[in-house]
Amino acid sequence: MLKRFLPSSLFGRAIIIVVAPVVLLQIVAAVVFYDRHLDQITRRLARSVAGDIGFVAGALTRDKDSLSRFHILQSANLRLNLSFTLKPEQKLKAGPLPQPNAPLEALLIRTIDEGLELAFTIQNRPEKKNYLIQVAFEGGVLRVLVPHNRITSATLEVLILWIVGSSLLLLAIAILFLRNQVRPILRLADAADHFGRGQEVADFKPSGAVEVRRAGAAFLRMRERIDRHIRQRTEMLAGVSHDLRTPLTRLKLELAMLRDVPATAEMRADVDEMEGMIEGYLAFARGAAGESAVETDINALLDEAVADARRQGGVVDFAAIGDLRGRLRPLSLKRCLDNLLGNAQRYAERCTVAATRDGDVIEIIVDDDGPGIPEAEREAAFRPFYRLENSRNQGTGGVGLGLAITRDTVRNQGGDVVLEEAPQGGLRAIIRLPA
Ligand SMILES: Nc1ncnc2c1ncn2[C@@H]1O[C@H](COP(=O)(O)OP(=O)(O)OP(=O)(O)O)[C@@H](O)[C@H]1O
Ligand SMILES: [Mg+2]
């Protein structure tokens, strides 16, 4: 449940982790402040207004002389930040107290009611920024104008301003810092991704926090180890194959000089087979050797592979669809296609090649109408030197490296090869590549 509302990125989560507690704290502080502190302040201010009015009313009651009353009112107006006027001939319309439209106002009315023993009405006049309090006084009315600032304190607005302001500032700082923390992680992910596809990652340097830098350094060491491992394997295979070629050539020469008997023909066939195998090993070694990825037009590559297959007598249907491009290693990929088409030619009559793009994935499908490979053997067919029973009996002369090489090179470019059953009953090989 919660997961759906939380951001999925590290950046978003970190922002929430940093900002949420602070905002929560400020909200709690503001609420408590508003509830307690402000409540008390207002009560005190209201009480002081009620006290002032009561005091003036008391002084006026004691002194009936109009000149003294004038002086009392004058000095009250001067000193109390209230404005008093005495209207002896008016009558106070004693109704119920007005409905307060804010909790603050309710508190104010209640407090004045408690502090002042005379009947009064109170009226908020926001346009004049004051309250008009009319107090029943000796059959007349004592009008008192109470400016808003005598009753409300501006602290709430100031507080909210500070809270919002500081929260925004905090958010800005958090965004600035966290972006810089997340960037090295993204760079590391990119570098690993590119390496997985066999593309160059020239300018990757571990950066950022210690942990991220450690991960980056570990990645670089791992890349170095993998590169070294591949290089060693390739060099060894190439070396062995190359060394075997020389005695094999000698053997061929010696065979050629022998008299033609049935035995020599068989030996020649064996030597040819060995030569084919060694070519296969060398191709395998070459496939892994460092070809770099370039922008490749897959349709052109397919055209070429299909034309080659047709030249060798294959029946191939091929229709190019759309514009298919990707950062790939064209020579290795061409070798993969040659392998698949070669298999189709060797084990089937006709085949169909199709290529499509599905989102970021390019799919190359090679279907044939041969016997196919039973499902249980499909995984094994990818193993080097693995050949199915039927192909061994037919003596079709494969080495069993074609599919191994194909999978190896395609995986090196961040893709994969799978085998399925074709609609026409034979084998379907699908190469999936990142676009
Ligand atoms: N299109 C196909 N139809 C039926 N069987 C196949 C097909 N492709 C491959 N196979 C089986 O899978 C085995 C492995 O194929 P792979 O291409 O790796 O080796 P190969 O074709 O025998 O030799 P190489 O390709 O090295 O010359 C083959 O020996 C064959 O038995
Ligand atoms: Mg093959």
pLDDT the model gives residue 396: 61
**Residue at 400 is within a domain:** yes
Would you say the CB of residue 369 lies under 6 angstroms from ligand 1?
no
**Cβ of 314 less than 6 Å from ligand 1:** no
| Nearest residue by C-alpha to atom 27 in ligand 1 | 398
Between the CA of 345 and the centroid of ligand 1 the distance, in Å, is 10
Task: Please tell me the predicted confidence (pLDDT) of residue 100.
Answer: 65
Ligand 1, atom nearest to 344 Cα = 1
Domain boundary among 100, 126, 153: 153
| Residue 375 located in a structural domain | yes
**Residue with the nearest Cα to atom 28 of ligand 1?**
387
Distance from Cα 393 to the centre of ligand 1, integer Å? 13
Residue 380 lies in a domain: yes
Q: How many angstroms separate the alpha carbon of residue 298 from the centre of ligand 2? A: 21
Confidence (pLDDT) at 36: 81
Show contacts of 89-94: CB within 8 Å, 24+ apart: 89/140, 90/140, 90/141, 91/139, 91/140, 91/141, 92/119, 92/120, 92/121, 92/134, 92/135, 92/136, 92/141, 93/121, 94/119, 94/121, 94/136
Query: For the purposes of burial, counting CB atoms within 10 Å of the CB of 274, is it exposed (0-12), middle (13-18) or buried (19 or more)?
Result: middle
Mutate which of 272, 284, 392, 403 to test ligand 1's pocket (most atoms within 8 Å of Cβ)? 403
Range of the domain at 86: 2-153
pLDDT in tens, the chain (435 residues): 777 888 888 888 888 888 889 888 888 888 887 778 777 887 888 888 888 888 888 888 888 888 888 898 999 999 988 899 888 777 777 655 666 666 667 777 888 888 778 888 888 888 888 888 888 887 788 889 988 888 877 767 787 888 889 889 988 998 998 888 899 999 999 888 888 777 777 778 888 889 999 999 999 999 999 889 888 888 888 888 888 888 989 998 998 888 888 888 888 888 888 888 788 777 777 665 567 778 888 888 999 999 999 998 888 898 877 778 888 888 888 888 999 999 998 888 889 999 988 888 899 999 999 898 999 889 999 988 888 876 555 556 677 888 988 998 888 888 899 999 999 888 999 999 887
Within-domain flag for 261: no
Distance CA 165, CA 172 (A): 11
User: From the CA of 401, which ligand is nearest?
Assistant: 1
Interval between CA 297 and ligand 2 midpoint (Å)? 24
Q: How far apart, in whole angstroms, are the C-alpha atoms of residue 330 and residue 174? A: 46
Q: Which of 153, 178, 196 is the last residue of a domain?
A: 153
Look at residue 390 in the predicted model and tell me its pLDDT.
65
- Which residue bears the tokens 């085949």? 351
CATH code of the domain covering residue 399: 3.30.565.10
The reported pLDDT for the residue numbered 216 is: 92
Please check whether residue 277 lies inside any domain of the structure.
no
Ligand 2 centre distance from Cα of residue 200 (Å):
30
The verdict on the CB of residue 281 being under 6 Å from ligand 1 is no
Residue 283 belongs to some domain of the structure: no
Quote the pLDDT of residue 214: 94
Contact 152, 34 (CB under 8 A): no
Enclosing H/E stretch for 86: strand 83-87
Q: Is the CB of 373 under 6 A from ligand 1?
A: yes
Q: Read off the CATH number of the domain in which 81 is found.
A: 3.30.450.300
Asked if residues 61 and 72 have their Cβ atoms less than 8 Å apart, the reply is no
Nearest of 288, 286, 293 to residue 199 by alpha carbon: 293
pTM of the model: 0.57
Task: Pick the closest to residue 237 from 198, 288, 273 (CA basis).
Answer: 288
Domain boundary residue, one of 117, 132, 153: 153
What pLDDT does residue 217 have?
Answer: 93
Q: Which two tokens stand for residue 416?
A: 């994969």
Q: Evaluate: CB of 144 within 6 angstroms of ligand 1.
A: no
Whose Cα sits closest to atom 17 in ligand 1? 402
206 in contact with ligand 1, CB cutoff 6 A = no
Q: Is residue 105 part of a domain?
A: yes
Q: Is residue 204 part of a domain?
A: no
Helix (H, G, I), strand (E, B) or coil at 340: helix
Closest Cα to atom 25 of ligand 1? 402
Give the three-class secondary structure for 373: coil
Name the residue among 410, 403, 405, 382 with its Cα closest to residue 282.
Answer: 405
Question: d(Cα 193, Cα 95) in Å, to the nearest integer?
Answer: 80
Q: What is the dihedral of CA 169, 173, 175, 180, to 10 degrees?
A: 170
CA distances (Å), origin 260, targets 69, 207, 250, 371, 380: 150, 71, 18, 38, 40
Count of domains forming the chain: 2
